[in-house]
Structure 1
Amino acid sequence: MAVTERVAMKRAGIDWAGLGWMYLFFWYFSGVTHLLILLGDGAGFSGFRQALLMSTIWLAPLLLFPQRARLFAAVLGAVLWLSSLVAFGYFLIYGQEFSQSVIFIMFESNVSEGSEYMAHYFAWWMVPAFLAYGLGALLLWRRLRPVHLPSRLRVAAPLMVLTLVLGYPLSKEYVEKDRWSEAVEHLQTRMQPAVPWQLVVGYGKYREQLEQMQSWLASNAAVPPLRNLQDLAGSPPATLVLVIGESTNRQRMSLYGYPRQTTPELDALREQLDVFDNVVTPRPYTIEALQQVLTFADQQNPDAYLSTPSVLNMMKQAGYKTFWITNQQTLTERNTMLTTFSKQADEQVYLNNNRNQNARQYDGDVLAPFDKMLADPAPRKFIVVHLLGTHMRYRFRYPESFERFSDAQGVPATVTEDQLPTYNSYDNAVLYNDHVVSSLIKNLDSQQQRSFLLYLSDHGEAVFDAPAADILGRNEGRPTAPMYTVPFILWRSPQWRESDPRGFADVLGRPYSSEHFIHTLADLAHLRFDEYEPSKSLVSAQFQARPLLIGDPLKPKSLIDFSLIRPKAKVQAAGLVQADRVPAAKEKAAAEL
């Protein structure tokens, strides 16, 4: 370094420009991909923000040993560049953020499948893109120079960086949760958007969740089969489809009387549908709700999902080939249970590899694998389609062509100007969900076979719905009706109606909780076994109305009857439950994303 440069640097105190180039170099490996995702509106700001923060930790060794700054930067840069190629390449192909779900898919695929994917998605322009990406890193490295801090900051500054970026969130979480495991988990989540943690933490979480899933699958394999199962119809060819929605409140569907036309395609099919208008979910959270919906567990026996057969077990025992298509995430802290259910099927298709749910992902992707499964030669098929539905963030749930609601027309006066964009985006998400569900019905109908499709949502969602118009999301501790009112729609093919002419017009208003869904599915499929209880089947002549218990079953005193948070009166014209009336003490709930 020239003497004049050293003198100038000494007078300035700190070489801020040099520090800026140093930071930009390390940010490059995490930030470029996140910036492209953000500019493409493929996800929210959180990943980009964490990449900004986590990139600062690499400044510490360069500030501590400035005389070796370029050497350290070269070594670290090489590691970060190699680590970042996976995420950068994944973005070029899918336009999404790399995640542990991708790691799961990679290990689930064999070499032949992996080669097929590479050949299908590889394009010539990716080669210059990778070269340009590497050249950018090299040019930034060439701009690096040692940054000599004043002696009093030589050690303090690197320690301060590490403390603020890593130590503070770790200690803050520990103080709040009083558990180091949760604090470390929180820190790992913050680190994961940046390289190399996308691979290191992602693989660690993958192994952890895989072990949990394998444990559950082993427990499920040890569950005794249903006793004395028989098919009253005589086991003829059939295709049965269960479509599980997400966060869809039926009160925002025109099929159920909502004034905005959010379900035009299902409205057009209404004569072919049995639309049940008094079904609620026991829990306002996906995992907790589906543990009951898909098994014999209920609010009185919440842990029975671990020791009783699931819907998949039941259908396989009845001789159906089973399939599972999901547009939800795979192995995450929350979604591993869903993947466990899916692995009970004979074949699975996983479509959503985003790191978090707040990313652009369209349910229309399920249609192609659904058609492929319909074409499977198995005479008896049971297909589960798990949608992302109307999950937050709503604007990421539908293509631009479905952005029909953009003004205040048809919106309750209680919705404020600030709330209006979110309110409208939810209705647009419901509109696109209508298109996907109706497309599944039409594709199934085109097969001209003995079949039915049943659609229900895991839970609802409060999106500034009157009269508790300040609530967004779900909160079991402060329930409102939109969090629990779910669509429950049955479509039956002409061939199915011919073999099973039962009419359900007189039972559409029965009060029912989806906690007992497995009994209804068994009834519709003409399956009988010792564990079947006709009084818990929504369509059985022996149906018995029960309290619609909502709340946390692990806290029995918290369980309440759903009728306590909404009136029993219905809109006469549409059969829609009227606007919710909740006690004053329950009018506010924090949004749970």
Structure 2
Amino acid sequence: MKITAYILIITVIFFILMPNTFWWKYLSADIFLVNIIVVVFLLATFKKLWVGLTFLLPLLAIVPFELFYINTYGRPSDAHIFGVLAETNVTESGEFLIGVNPWLILGLLTPILVVIFIIKKSFKENWLWNNKQRRLTLILGWLVAGIFILPETLSESVAGLPVNNDSLIMGNQETSLASASLENSYPIGIPFRINSFINQSRGLKQAQAIVNDFKFNATQNPVMAGRQIHVLVIGETGRPDHWQLNGYTRPTNPQLSNIPDVISLTNVISGWAWTRMAVPIMITRKPASTTTAFFNEKSLVSAYREAGFKTYWLSTQGPLGVHESSIALHAHEAHETKFLNKVDYRGSGAHDGVLLQPLQDILEKNELKQLIVLHTLGGHYNYADRHPPEFNVFTPSLTGFNGANMYDRTQKTLMVNSYDNSIVYTDYFLAEVIQRLKATRSPATLLYSADHGENLFDNECDKSGHGHGTEYDFRVASLWWNSAEYADLQPEKVAYIRTRQDMPLTTEHTFYTMLDAANIEYPVKDKRKSILSSTWLSHPRWTQGDMMSLGLDFDTSPRDAVCKQLLPPSGRTTVQ
């Protein structure tokens, strides 16, 4: 082949590898090299260059979408986006590209046109591989596969999601800024991402099959005449001491503070500091002391369905993944389930405000009985990604800051300001939900609770994020609101919850309180766990501890002096 042919082939290889240049700082040199070798290996599979180039064309066709995704959401595509697209119809999937500049699309498609020209040229001039070069390339490709790709495939961590695998709860931070694995590279990562999606989907279906026949035998008793709406907002990473409603000196709740009948529940804890474990104990009867990832009962969504309610689950979190699947299992119990974020918590993606219009659409259906679950991203790191620019109230912040690192204590001021800005946006979001419920002039309730708290390099502590077993991990923001119409129908329940505003509560009360709010009865109902009930009783508040001391009582366990980490009683240091 002439030197021109080599230059043109190198151009093709560069176009295919282009997504890696946008993600270069998270990929090591050896991963770059592996991708180059694999592309050349695929090209060398065929003696005639035009055949190999045509074989590579599908990989090139995906490049514009991958570049668009990285540019829009700040990270490569993954199993999450496959899950989101699988959950939506063709029209909704098309919205993924709405608003893209046509010139950008043309620019991204240009490489495809260039490569088609090169294919035609190679066909016309009959470019052929040199036998020796081709043989060496194929040998090198097989060596790379054996050294790098095969081990990665065999050690793939998400080979389905075992229902009773305690290892799913272990590990440190849920937050993973970026992995330098082959899965995040291109084009090698695409098969890994598809495999992750298939395996996670299979694991989710297996878990669903186990609980498929479960029934609460729930009914509404007494039946509430007329329309009624109940909303559960599952928050994310919400510290109560950063809420103005709870005495925080900053105005982080400017709107909720001016809404009558908002009751801030000031003394609520979560038993777990990880979403995948914390949310199921909110929406099911799963005890906080249970350490398996999945629970063999359905959630409050199914109880509402059995009682005659139309049920909805709207989410800005994910439909798949180690962190999400135990929750998605219950999301799919709803009549209608929508995942409205095209990226998971590791990217900027959509803000929680995207849930408002679908919520409004549901309310305008005027169905007599509705349960609506809104699962938000709230204040999950990167906090600057959780709110639009106009909510960048406290500065300097992480907004527009390059090099954000949640483990860098020198960024504490930026982190705290951005975290507080995420709460200001949560305040706006909750206020908007309440105003929409008020506008229906119907009996309506809203219960909000964050899944877990957050560490923010408090005092002299060196911990940030969550999962450290500190008091900041477990205390969560929570509030209740009901319409005037609901108070007229259920004055006793409203009176009871007002008396429990400062009582020691846990997110385990969520399931029981939500059912009690709608008068939903079922066999062996435990009204002592509903904070709307006259028979409510306080009980020990169990937490995960520091993973070396499972089963710590939040209220009686001693604390580390610096980080407020919960400690086991004297002499107890092993998992119970």
In the alignment, the residues of structure 1 paired with residue 148 and residue 347 of structure 2 have an alpha-carbon distance, to the nearest angstrom, of: 23
Please state how far the C-alpha of 1:238 moved relative to its aligned partner: 0.2
Question: Aligned ranges for residues 457-536 of structure 1 at < 5 Å?
Answer: 457-466=450-459, 468=461, 470-475=462-467, 478-501=468-491, 502-503=494-495, 504-536=497-529
Does residue 78 (structure 1) correspond to residue 65 (structure 2)? The answer is no
Q: Is the 8 A contact 2:87 2:339 kept in 1?
A: no
In the alignment, the residues of structure 1 paired with residue 97 and residue 564 of structure 2 have an alpha-carbon distance, to the nearest angstrom, of: 57
Question: Aligned ranges for residues 411-430 of structure 1 at < 5 Å?
Answer: 417-430=410-423
Does residue 56 (structure 1) correspond to residue 49 (structure 2)? The answer is no
In the alignment, the residues of structure 1 paired with residue 139 and residue 430 of structure 2 have an alpha-carbon distance, to the nearest angstrom, of: 59
Matched letter for residue 62 of structure 2? S
Q: Which residue of 2 aligns with 1:247?
A: 237
In the alignment, the residues of structure 2 paired with residue 80 and residue 240 of structure 1 have an alpha-carbon distance, to the nearest angstrom, of: 47
* Residue number among 13, 18, 34 corresponding to 1:31 in the alignment: 18
Distance 1:364 1:356, change over 3 A: closer
Please state how far the C-alpha of 1:236 moved relative to its aligned partner: 3.6
Q: Which residue of 2 aligns with 1:265?
A: 255
In the alignment, the residues of structure 2 paired with residue 323 and residue 132 of structure 1 have an alpha-carbon distance, to the nearest angstrom, of: 43
Please state how far the C-alpha of 1:519 moved relative to its aligned partner: 1.3
SS of residue matched to 2:508: helix
Question: Aligned ranges for residues 359-438 of structure 1 at < 5 Å?
Answer: 359-407=348-396, 417-438=410-431
In the alignment, the residues of structure 1 paired with residue 554 and residue 131 of structure 2 have an alpha-carbon distance, to the nearest angstrom, of: 66
Please state how far the C-alpha of 1:85 moved relative to its aligned partner: 4.7
Please state how far the C-alpha of 1:329 moved relative to its aligned partner: 1.3
Q: Is the 8 A contact 1:62 1:72 kept in 2?
A: no
Matched letter for residue 223 of structure 1? F
SS of residue matched to 1:202: helix
Does residue 211 (structure 1) correspond to residue 172 (structure 2)? The answer is no
* Residue number among 83, 93, 97 corresponding to 1:104 in the alignment: 83
Distance 1:384 1:155, change over 3 A: closer
Which segment drifts farther, 131-140 or 524-533? 131-140
Which segment drifts farther, 114-123 or 201-210? 114-123
- 5+ residue gaps in structure 1? 6-17, 39-43, 175-180, 409-414, 568-577, 587-593
Matched letter for residue 16 of structure 2? F
SS of residue matched to 1:558: coil
Q: Is the 8 A contact 1:217 1:340 kept in 2?
A: yes
Distance 1:442 1:27, change over 3 A: farther
In the alignment, the residues of structure 1 paired with residue 94 and residue 39 of structure 2 have an alpha-carbon distance, to the nearest angstrom, of: 41
Q: Which residue of 2 aligns with 1:537?
A: 530
In the alignment, the residues of structure 2 paired with residue 312 and residue 301 of structure 1 have an alpha-carbon distance, to the nearest angstrom, of: 21
Instruction: Output one character per residue of 1:485-531: Cα deviation in whole Å (capped at 9) or x when no partner.
Output: 11110111111111122323321111111123211222222223323
* Residue number among 552, 557, 565 corresponding to 1:560 in the alignment: 552
In the alignment, the residues of structure 2 paired with residue 134 and residue 461 of structure 1 have an alpha-carbon distance, to the nearest angstrom, of: 46
Distance 1:226 1:309, change over 3 A: farther
Q: Which residue of 1 aligns with 2:327?
A: 338
Please state how far the C-alpha of 1:171 moved relative to its aligned partner: 9.6
Q: Which residue of 2 aligns with 1:589?
A: none
In the alignment, the residues of structure 2 paired with residue 221 and residue 585 of structure 1 have an alpha-carbon distance, to the nearest angstrom, of: 39
Matched letter for residue 81 of structure 1? L
Under a length normalisation based on structure 2, what TM-score does the superposition of the two structures give?
Answer: 0.78
Instruction: Output one character per residue of 1:287-332: Cα deviation in whole Å (capped at 9) or x when no partner.
Output: 1112211111103455696333411011111111000100001122
Matched letter for residue 533 of structure 1? D
Distance 1:581 1:214, change over 3 A: closer
In the alignment, the residues of structure 2 paired with residue 584 and residue 290 of structure 1 have an alpha-carbon distance, to the nearest angstrom, of: 24
In the alignment, the residues of structure 2 paired with residue 393 and residue 49 of structure 1 have an alpha-carbon distance, to the nearest angstrom, of: 27
Matched letter for residue 545 of structure 1? S
Which segment drifts farther, 193-202 or 67-76? 67-76
User: When the two structures are aligned, how many residues end up with a matched partner?
Assistant: 532
In the alignment, the residues of structure 2 paired with residue 159 and residue 214 of structure 1 have an alpha-carbon distance, to the nearest angstrom, of: 35
Q: Is the 8 A contact 2:444 2:486 kept in 1?
A: yes
Please state how far the C-alpha of 1:233 moved relative to its aligned partner: 4.7
Q: Is the 8 A contact 1:327 1:388 kept in 2?
A: yes
In the alignment, the residues of structure 2 paired with residue 366 and residue 53 of structure 1 have an alpha-carbon distance, to the nearest angstrom, of: 42
Does residue 445 (structure 1) correspond to residue 438 (structure 2)? The answer is yes
In the alignment, the residues of structure 2 paired with residue 453 and residue 225 of structure 1 have an alpha-carbon distance, to the nearest angstrom, of: 23
Matched letter for residue 459 of structure 1? H
In the alignment, the residues of structure 1 paired with residue 30 and residue 374 of structure 2 have an alpha-carbon distance, to the nearest angstrom, of: 33
Matched letter for residue 15 of structure 2? Y
Matched letter for residue 481 of structure 2? W
Distance 1:300 1:32, change over 3 A: closer
Matched letter for residue 250 of structure 1? P
Distance 1:77 1:272, change over 3 A: same
Which segment drifts farther, 158-167 or 330-339? 158-167
Q: Is the 8 A contact 2:20 2:185 kept in 1?
A: no
Please state how far the C-alpha of 1:336 moved relative to its aligned partner: 1.9
In the alignment, the residues of structure 1 paired with residue 29 and residue 351 of structure 2 have an alpha-carbon distance, to the nearest angstrom, of: 24
Please state how far the C-alpha of 1:428 moved relative to its aligned partner: 1.6
Q: Which residue of 2 aligns with 1:326?
A: 315
Distance 1:282 1:456, change over 3 A: same
In the alignment, the residues of structure 1 paired with residue 195 and residue 42 of structure 2 have an alpha-carbon distance, to the nearest angstrom, of: 28
In the alignment, the residues of structure 2 paired with residue 386 and residue 558 of structure 1 have an alpha-carbon distance, to the nearest angstrom, of: 27
Instruction: Output one character per residue of 1:36-88: Cα deviation in whole Å (capped at 9) or x when no partner.
Output: xx7xxxxx96489998465333366389x799796586245424213335535
Please state how far the C-alpha of 1:101 moved relative to its aligned partner: 3.3
* Residue number among 281, 299, 307 corresponding to 2:296 in the alignment: 307
Instruction: Output one character per residue of 1:339-358: Cα deviation in whole Å (capped at 9) or x when no partner.
Output: 22111000112112226633
Distance 1:59 1:342, change over 3 A: closer
Please state how far the C-alpha of 1:102 moved relative to its aligned partner: 3.3
Q: Which residue of 2 aligns with 1:202?
A: 193
Matched letter for residue 558 of structure 1? L
In the alignment, the residues of structure 2 paired with residue 146 and residue 356 of structure 1 have an alpha-carbon distance, to the nearest angstrom, of: 46
SS of residue matched to 1:306: coil
In the alignment, the residues of structure 2 paired with residue 52 and residue 86 of structure 1 have an alpha-carbon distance, to the nearest angstrom, of: 20
In the alignment, the residues of structure 1 paired with residue 543 and residue 239 of structure 2 have an alpha-carbon distance, to the nearest angstrom, of: 16
Which segment drifts farther, 322-331 or 348-357? 348-357
Please state how far the C-alpha of 1:368 moved relative to its aligned partner: 0.9
Which segment drifts farther, 499-508 or 162-171? 162-171
In the alignment, the residues of structure 1 paired with residue 45 and residue 290 of structure 2 have an alpha-carbon distance, to the nearest angstrom, of: 63
Matched letter for residue 436 of structure 1? F
Distance 1:327 1:489, change over 3 A: same
Q: Is the 8 A contact 2:47 2:128 kept in 1?
A: no
Q: Is the 8 A contact 1:50 1:190 kept in 2?
A: no
In the alignment, the residues of structure 2 paired with residue 337 and residue 132 of structure 1 have an alpha-carbon distance, to the nearest angstrom, of: 42
In the alignment, the residues of structure 1 paired with residue 565 and residue 85 of structure 2 have an alpha-carbon distance, to the nearest angstrom, of: 48
Which segment drifts farther, 345-354 or 125-134? 125-134
Distance 1:115 1:284, change over 3 A: closer
In the alignment, the residues of structure 2 paired with residue 250 and residue 140 of structure 1 have an alpha-carbon distance, to the nearest angstrom, of: 61
In the alignment, the residues of structure 2 paired with residue 47 and residue 338 of structure 1 have an alpha-carbon distance, to the nearest angstrom, of: 31
In the alignment, the residues of structure 2 paired with residue 546 and residue 511 of structure 1 have an alpha-carbon distance, to the nearest angstrom, of: 8
Distance 1:66 1:486, change over 3 A: closer
Matched letter for residue 529 of structure 1? Y
Please state how far the C-alpha of 1:237 moved relative to its aligned partner: 1.7
